[in-house]
Amino acid sequence: MAYTNGNGQSHDDEMDLLDLDGLVLRGRGKLEGLEFSSDPKIEHAVVAILESIGEEPAREGLLKTPSRVAKMYAELTAGYRIDPEALINDAIFNVEYQEMVLVKDIDFSSLCEHHMLPFLGKVHVAYIPNNRVVGLSKLPRIVDMFARRLQVQERMTVQIADFIDEHLHPLGVAVVAEGVHMCGVMRGVKKANAKMVTSAMRGVFRDDPKTRAELMGHINRPSYGD
């Protein structure tokens, strides 16, 4: 299989890793300037779905729908093809710092594994370094790595926290996610304003109520420009 870049140049999937501004993918795909290939298996499945719901796949408006859907799923599940070690290992630095680091309001979107409908919202990631810090851009990329998969919000929150804990060995890690789930908005209970909040606390964030309260105060404080 192959992918094309913005200049129309073709590349084979035999390239083991694609380094995209620090986000490393295995295989084909569009992320930050790359275009995803369409998987024929997904295209055929989409045609079957269209026929099953009473549509005509050959009509003008649907002719390219199977290809578009296949490329969309390749993009929305790109997290499976990210090499986590290459993502973070070149951006860990030794710094004499043991105070809270918080990146809040990280936008995310994912697909619920139960209905394959989107859920989206914001993630707040905090850690207290043990004299090791990670580059600022890596925290949103870590969120993307786990969000761009078939997910449930609870597991995604834990995966982000555990990944940071494992690679930085900080004094504490905290991840708080707030999401709106289309499976509860568009179908089922149909509650458009219902929001799920999940959290994962490690180290001092779990053990020290004052540190946890400080974190929540930062999260609840209006962001710059609000």
Q: Is 218 one of the annotated active-site residues of the chain?
A: no
Catalytic residue among 11, 35, 183, 214: 183
Q: Is 166 one of the annotated active-site residues of the chain?
A: no
Q: Is 14 one of the annotated active-site residues of the chain?
A: no
Catalytic residue among 114, 154, 166, 169: 114
Catalytic residue among 43, 112, 151, 178: 112
Catalytic residue among 113, 154, 166, 169: 113
Q: Is 113 one of the annotated active-site residues of the chain?
A: yes
Q: Is 183 one of the annotated active-site residues of the chain?
A: yes
What is the Cβ-side half-sphere exposure of residue 205, based on CA atoms within 13 angstroms?
25
Q: The tokens 């969309």 sit on which residue?
A: 72
Catalytic residue among 43, 124, 153, 167: 153
Buried b (16+ CB within 10 A) or exposed e, 194-210: eebebbbbbbbbeeeee
Rounded CA-CA distance 169/203 in Å is 10
Catalytic residue among 124, 159, 167, 181: 181
Catalytic residue among 35, 55, 115, 218: 115
Q: Is 169 one of the annotated active-site residues of the chain?
A: no
Rounded CA-CA distance 58/65 in Å is 10
Q: Is 32 one of the annotated active-site residues of the chain?
A: no
Active site residues: 112-115, 153, 181, 183
